[in-house]
Amino acid sequence: MEPYLHGAARDAYDAWLESTVARFIPPLTFPEVRKGAVALSSLYVERREAGRLGPRALEGRGKRAAFATYYAGLHFLVAWHACELLGDAARSEVTRVVDLGCGTGAVGAAAGSACTARILALDRSGWALGEARRTYAAFGLEARTRRASLPAGLPRETGPGDLLAAGWVTNELGDEARTRFLDALFAARRRGARLLLIEPLAGPASPWWKDEAPRFEAEGIAARPLKKSLALPAWIARMDKAAGLSHRPLGARLLVG
Ligand SMILES: C[S@@+](CC[C@H](N)C(=O)[O-])C[C@H]1O[C@@H](n2cnc3c(N)ncnc32)[C@H](O)[C@@H]1O
Protein backbone atom coordinates (compact mmCIF):
# COMPACT_ATOMS: atom_id res chain seq x y z
CA MET A 1 0.00 0.00 0.00
CA GLU A 2 1.23 3.48 -0.89
CA PRO A 3 1.99 6.06 1.85
CA TYR A 4 -0.65 8.80 1.89
CA LEU A 5 1.95 11.50 1.29
CA HIS A 6 5.73 11.92 1.26
CA GLY A 7 8.31 14.37 2.59
CA ALA A 8 7.46 17.99 3.35
CA ALA A 9 3.85 17.60 2.17
CA ARG A 10 3.33 14.81 4.68
CA ASP A 11 4.92 16.82 7.51
CA ALA A 12 2.66 19.81 6.78
CA TYR A 13 -0.42 17.61 6.47
CA ASP A 14 0.29 15.73 9.72
CA ALA A 15 0.83 18.98 11.64
CA TRP A 16 -2.38 20.49 10.21
CA LEU A 17 -4.49 17.41 10.96
CA GLU A 18 -3.09 17.04 14.47
CA SER A 19 -3.71 20.69 15.35
CA THR A 20 -7.21 20.62 13.83
CA VAL A 21 -8.18 17.51 15.80
CA ALA A 22 -6.78 19.14 18.97
CA ARG A 23 -9.04 22.18 18.47
CA PHE A 24 -12.17 19.99 18.45
CA ILE A 25 -11.28 17.20 20.90
CA PRO A 26 -11.69 18.41 23.64
CA PRO A 27 -14.23 19.95 24.15
CA LEU A 28 -15.88 17.22 22.05
CA THR A 29 -15.23 13.55 22.65
CA PHE A 30 -14.20 10.98 20.06
CA PRO A 31 -17.68 9.32 20.14
CA GLU A 32 -19.31 12.71 19.45
CA VAL A 33 -17.12 13.28 16.39
CA ARG A 34 -17.72 9.69 15.26
CA LYS A 35 -21.47 10.34 15.51
CA GLY A 36 -20.97 13.45 13.39
CA ALA A 37 -19.09 11.44 10.75
CA VAL A 38 -21.86 8.85 10.56
CA ALA A 39 -24.52 11.59 10.35
CA LEU A 40 -22.67 13.33 7.50
CA SER A 41 -22.24 10.12 5.57
CA SER A 42 -25.93 9.28 5.94
CA LEU A 43 -26.92 12.82 4.97
CA TYR A 44 -24.99 12.77 1.68
CA VAL A 45 -25.84 9.24 0.65
CA GLU A 46 -29.27 8.34 2.04
CA ARG A 47 -31.03 11.51 3.15
CA ARG A 48 -30.08 13.95 0.37
CA GLU A 49 -33.62 14.16 -1.07
CA ALA A 50 -34.79 16.30 1.84
CA GLY A 51 -32.79 19.22 0.33
CA ARG A 52 -30.70 22.01 1.96
CA LEU A 53 -27.76 19.61 1.99
CA GLY A 54 -25.08 22.26 2.58
CA PRO A 55 -26.66 23.97 5.61
CA ARG A 56 -27.75 20.65 7.12
CA ALA A 57 -24.19 19.32 6.82
CA LEU A 58 -22.88 22.16 8.99
CA GLU A 59 -25.54 21.96 11.71
CA GLY A 60 -24.19 20.83 15.07
CA ARG A 61 -20.76 20.64 16.65
CA GLY A 62 -20.21 16.92 15.98
CA LYS A 63 -20.85 17.28 12.24
CA ARG A 64 -18.64 20.36 12.03
CA ALA A 65 -15.83 18.56 13.85
CA ALA A 66 -16.17 15.50 11.59
CA PHE A 67 -16.18 17.75 8.52
CA ALA A 68 -13.05 19.66 9.65
CA THR A 69 -10.98 16.72 10.88
CA TYR A 70 -12.13 13.61 9.02
CA TYR A 71 -13.72 14.50 5.67
CA ALA A 72 -11.31 17.41 5.19
CA GLY A 73 -8.38 15.04 5.84
CA LEU A 74 -9.71 12.66 3.20
CA HIS A 75 -10.54 15.43 0.73
CA PHE A 76 -7.03 16.83 0.99
CA LEU A 77 -5.57 13.45 0.04
CA VAL A 78 -7.92 12.98 -2.92
CA ALA A 79 -7.20 16.49 -4.20
CA TRP A 80 -3.46 16.05 -3.79
CA HIS A 81 -3.44 12.81 -5.78
CA ALA A 82 -5.82 14.30 -8.36
CA CYS A 83 -3.38 17.18 -8.89
CA GLU A 84 -0.70 14.64 -9.78
CA LEU A 85 -2.89 13.78 -12.79
CA LEU A 86 -2.60 17.36 -14.02
CA GLY A 87 1.08 16.76 -14.76
CA ASP A 88 4.17 18.83 -13.93
CA ALA A 89 3.82 21.29 -16.82
CA ALA A 90 0.19 22.19 -16.06
CA ARG A 91 0.85 22.44 -12.31
CA SER A 92 3.75 24.82 -12.89
CA GLU A 93 1.47 27.16 -14.92
CA VAL A 94 -0.99 27.56 -12.04
CA THR A 95 -0.50 30.76 -10.02
CA ARG A 96 -3.92 30.93 -8.33
CA VAL A 97 -6.26 28.25 -7.06
CA VAL A 98 -9.89 29.35 -6.84
CA ASP A 99 -11.32 27.08 -4.13
CA LEU A 100 -15.05 26.97 -4.89
CA GLY A 101 -17.25 25.87 -2.01
CA CYS A 102 -14.01 25.75 -0.04
CA GLY A 103 -15.50 24.35 3.17
CA THR A 104 -12.62 24.06 5.60
CA GLY A 105 -10.09 24.59 2.80
CA ALA A 106 -8.80 21.06 2.25
CA VAL A 107 -9.02 21.00 -1.56
CA GLY A 108 -7.56 24.49 -1.98
CA ALA A 109 -4.74 23.69 0.44
CA ALA A 110 -3.88 20.50 -1.42
CA ALA A 111 -4.02 22.14 -4.86
CA GLY A 112 -2.24 25.29 -3.66
CA SER A 113 0.56 23.19 -2.16
CA ALA A 114 0.81 20.87 -5.18
CA CYS A 115 0.96 23.83 -7.60
CA THR A 116 2.75 26.36 -5.33
CA ALA A 117 -0.03 28.88 -5.89
CA ARG A 118 -2.00 31.45 -3.93
CA ILE A 119 -5.65 30.87 -3.06
CA LEU A 120 -8.94 32.68 -3.53
CA ALA A 121 -11.58 30.80 -1.54
CA LEU A 122 -15.36 31.14 -1.77
CA ASP A 123 -18.06 29.68 0.42
CA ARG A 124 -21.42 30.82 1.69
CA SER A 125 -20.69 29.62 5.23
CA GLY A 126 -18.84 32.04 7.52
CA TRP A 127 -17.85 29.16 9.78
CA ALA A 128 -16.29 27.29 6.84
CA LEU A 129 -14.35 30.38 5.72
CA GLY A 130 -12.89 30.79 9.22
CA GLU A 131 -11.73 27.18 9.19
CA ALA A 132 -10.38 27.55 5.66
CA ARG A 133 -8.21 30.51 6.70
CA ARG A 134 -6.63 28.35 9.41
CA THR A 135 -6.05 25.53 6.93
CA TYR A 136 -4.32 27.69 4.30
CA ALA A 137 -2.17 29.29 7.02
CA ALA A 138 -1.17 25.84 8.27
CA PHE A 139 0.26 25.12 4.80
CA GLY A 140 1.93 28.53 4.53
CA LEU A 141 -0.30 29.54 1.62
CA GLU A 142 -1.20 33.12 0.76
CA ALA A 143 -5.00 33.21 0.73
CA ARG A 144 -8.03 35.49 0.44
CA THR A 145 -11.45 34.29 1.46
CA ARG A 146 -14.79 35.65 0.30
CA ARG A 147 -18.32 34.89 1.43
CA ALA A 148 -20.23 34.17 -1.76
CA SER A 149 -23.03 32.05 -3.10
CA LEU A 150 -22.38 29.92 -6.16
CA PRO A 151 -22.77 30.20 -9.06
CA ALA A 152 -23.54 33.94 -8.85
CA GLY A 153 -20.42 34.67 -6.77
CA LEU A 154 -17.95 33.07 -9.19
CA PRO A 155 -15.12 35.51 -10.00
CA ARG A 156 -15.49 36.88 -13.55
CA GLU A 157 -11.85 37.36 -14.49
CA THR A 158 -10.65 33.77 -14.54
CA GLY A 159 -8.34 32.44 -17.23
CA PRO A 160 -4.73 31.34 -17.80
CA GLY A 161 -2.89 30.75 -14.51
CA ASP A 162 -6.07 29.84 -12.64
CA LEU A 163 -7.06 26.42 -11.40
CA LEU A 164 -10.76 26.30 -10.59
CA ALA A 165 -11.13 23.70 -7.85
CA ALA A 166 -14.63 22.51 -6.97
CA GLY A 167 -14.43 19.75 -4.37
CA TRP A 168 -17.63 17.95 -3.36
CA VAL A 169 -19.74 21.07 -3.92
CA THR A 170 -21.38 20.56 -7.33
CA ASN A 171 -23.77 17.91 -5.96
CA GLU A 172 -25.00 20.41 -3.36
CA LEU A 173 -26.34 22.78 -6.04
CA GLY A 174 -29.88 22.56 -7.38
CA ASP A 175 -30.38 21.63 -11.05
CA GLU A 176 -30.49 25.16 -12.44
CA ALA A 177 -27.63 26.44 -10.30
CA ARG A 178 -25.51 23.42 -11.22
CA THR A 179 -26.06 23.98 -14.96
CA ARG A 180 -25.02 27.63 -14.62
CA PHE A 181 -22.05 26.63 -12.45
CA LEU A 182 -20.79 24.07 -14.99
CA ASP A 183 -21.41 26.51 -17.88
CA ALA A 184 -19.20 29.05 -16.10
CA LEU A 185 -16.46 26.52 -15.29
CA PHE A 186 -16.31 25.27 -18.87
CA ALA A 187 -16.30 28.85 -20.20
CA ALA A 188 -13.36 29.67 -17.90
CA ARG A 189 -11.57 26.59 -19.15
CA ARG A 190 -12.08 27.70 -22.76
CA ARG A 191 -10.43 31.00 -21.75
CA GLY A 192 -7.39 29.04 -20.54
CA ALA A 193 -8.14 28.22 -16.89
CA ARG A 194 -7.57 24.70 -15.59
CA LEU A 195 -10.26 22.69 -13.86
CA LEU A 196 -10.25 20.25 -10.96
CA LEU A 197 -13.77 19.08 -10.15
CA ILE A 198 -14.16 16.33 -7.55
CA GLU A 199 -17.36 14.48 -6.67
CA PRO A 200 -18.21 11.37 -4.65
CA LEU A 201 -17.70 8.05 -6.37
CA ALA A 202 -21.08 6.67 -5.27
CA GLY A 203 -23.70 7.20 -8.01
CA PRO A 204 -26.52 8.30 -5.66
CA ALA A 205 -24.26 10.99 -4.18
CA SER A 206 -23.57 12.56 -7.61
CA PRO A 207 -26.85 11.97 -9.48
CA TRP A 208 -26.07 14.67 -12.04
CA TRP A 209 -22.82 13.15 -13.34
CA LYS A 210 -24.13 10.71 -15.96
CA ASP A 211 -26.45 13.33 -17.51
CA GLU A 212 -23.54 15.72 -18.00
CA ALA A 213 -21.05 13.10 -19.26
CA PRO A 214 -21.60 13.92 -22.98
CA ARG A 215 -20.74 17.54 -22.19
CA PHE A 216 -17.41 16.56 -20.62
CA GLU A 217 -16.49 14.85 -23.85
CA ALA A 218 -17.67 17.78 -25.97
CA GLU A 219 -15.50 20.10 -23.84
CA GLY A 220 -12.54 17.75 -24.33
CA ILE A 221 -12.02 17.26 -20.60
CA ALA A 222 -11.02 13.95 -19.12
CA ALA A 223 -13.57 12.45 -16.71
CA ARG A 224 -12.00 9.71 -14.66
CA PRO A 225 -12.38 7.90 -11.39
CA LEU A 226 -9.60 8.08 -8.84
CA LYS A 227 -9.02 4.94 -6.82
CA LYS A 228 -5.96 4.84 -4.59
CA SER A 229 -5.06 2.25 -2.00
CA LEU A 230 -3.31 4.39 0.56
CA ALA A 231 -2.06 3.58 4.05
CA LEU A 232 -4.31 6.15 5.72
CA PRO A 233 -3.32 8.51 8.57
CA ALA A 234 -3.92 6.91 11.98
CA TRP A 235 -6.70 9.39 12.91
CA ILE A 236 -8.62 8.67 9.71
CA ALA A 237 -8.14 4.90 9.95
CA ARG A 238 -9.40 5.03 13.57
CA MET A 239 -12.47 7.05 12.57
CA ASP A 240 -13.16 4.77 9.57
CA LYS A 241 -13.18 1.76 11.85
CA ALA A 242 -15.28 3.34 14.59
CA ALA A 243 -17.82 4.78 12.14
CA GLY A 244 -18.05 1.61 10.02
CA LEU A 245 -16.90 3.54 6.93
CA SER A 246 -14.19 2.48 4.53
CA HIS A 247 -11.79 4.63 2.53
CA ARG A 248 -9.63 1.86 1.21
CA PRO A 249 -9.38 2.42 -1.65
CA LEU A 250 -9.81 6.16 -1.47
CA GLY A 251 -12.08 7.05 -4.37
CA ALA A 252 -13.70 9.97 -6.19
CA ARG A 253 -14.94 11.06 -9.61
CA LEU A 254 -12.75 13.65 -11.23
CA LEU A 255 -12.76 16.16 -14.04
CA VAL A 256 -9.14 17.23 -14.41
CA GLY A 257 -7.42 19.29 -17.04
C1 LIG B 1 -19.17 19.00 1.15
S2 LIG B 1 -18.51 20.56 1.46
C3 LIG B 1 -16.95 20.44 0.60
C4 LIG B 1 -15.95 21.43 1.12
C5 LIG B 1 -14.55 21.36 0.54
N6 LIG B 1 -14.55 21.73 -0.87
C7 LIG B 1 -13.95 20.01 0.74
O8 LIG B 1 -13.83 19.28 -0.25
O9 LIG B 1 -13.62 19.63 1.87
C10 LIG B 1 -19.43 21.68 0.43
C11 LIG B 1 -19.16 23.14 0.74
O12 LIG B 1 -19.79 23.90 -0.26
C13 LIG B 1 -20.45 25.01 0.33
N14 LIG B 1 -21.58 25.35 -0.53
C15 LIG B 1 -22.65 24.58 -0.85
N16 LIG B 1 -23.46 25.22 -1.71
C17 LIG B 1 -22.90 26.44 -1.92
C18 LIG B 1 -23.26 27.58 -2.72
N19 LIG B 1 -24.36 27.58 -3.46
N20 LIG B 1 -22.45 28.66 -2.70
C21 LIG B 1 -21.32 28.66 -1.95
N22 LIG B 1 -20.92 27.63 -1.18
C23 LIG B 1 -21.70 26.54 -1.18
C24 LIG B 1 -20.87 24.53 1.71
O25 LIG B 1 -21.04 25.63 2.60
C26 LIG B 1 -19.70 23.63 2.08
O27 LIG B 1 -18.71 24.33 2.77
Which residue's alpha carbon is at the smallest distance from atom 14 of ligand 1?
Answer: 101
Ligand 1 atom with minimal separation from the 108 CA: 6
Indicate the pLDDT class of residue 34, thresholds 50, 70 and 90. Answer: very high
CA of 133 to the centre of ligand 1 (A): 15
- Dist CA 119 CA 112 (whole Å): 7
pLDDT at 44: 73
CATH of the domain at 220: 3.40.50.150
Find the 121 Cα to ligand 1 centroid distance in Å: 11
Long-range CB contacts (within 8 A, 24+) of 118-122 = 118/142, 118/143, 118/144, 119/143, 119/144, 120/96, 120/144, 120/145, 120/146, 120/155, 121/145, 121/146, 122/98, 122/146, 122/147, 122/148, 122/150, 122/153, 122/154, 122/155
pLDDT digit string (tens) for 80-92?
A: 999 999 999 999 9
For the segment 11-24, what is each residue's pLDDT rounded down to a tens digit? 999 999 999 999 99
Tell me the torsion sign for CA atoms 93, 74, 102, 12. Answer: negative
pLDDT given at position 48:
59
Closest CA to 101 of 191, 153, 200, 169: 169
Domain with 44 in it: 2-256
Q: What percentage of the chain's residues is helix, strand, coil (to nearest 5)?
A: 55, 20, 30
Atom in ligand 1 nearest the alpha carbon of residue 149 = 20
Q: 34 CB contacts (<8 Å, ≥6 apart)?
A: 66, 239, 242, 243
- Give me the number of domains the chain comprises: 1
pLDDT tens for residues 39-95? 998 877 665 565 666 667 677 899 999 999 999 999 999 999 999 999 999 999 999
Q: pLDDT value at position 163?
A: 98
What pLDDT was estimated at residue 42?
84
pLDDT of residue 49: 62
On average, the pLDDT of the chain sits at 94
pLDDT digits (tens, 9 = 90+) for 177-231: 999 999 999 999 999 999 999 999 988 888 899 989 889 989 999 899 999 999 9
Output Rg (C-alpha) for the chain, integer angstroms: 17
User: Which tens digits make up the pLDDT trace of 128-183?
Assistant: 999 999 999 999 999 999 999 999 999 999 999 999 999 999 999 999 999 999 99
Q: Examine the pLDDT at 2 and tell me if it is beyond 70.
A: yes
Pocket test for ligand 1, best of 172, 198, 208 (most atoms within 8 A of CB): 172
Instruction: Please give the model's pTM, rounded to 2 decimal places.
Output: 0.95
pLDDT at res. 51? 60
Q: Where are the alpha helices (DSSP H) in the chain?
A: 7-24, 30-45, 53-57, 61-66, 72-86, 88-93, 106-115, 126-138, 175-190, 209-218, 234-243
pLDDT value, residue 52: 67
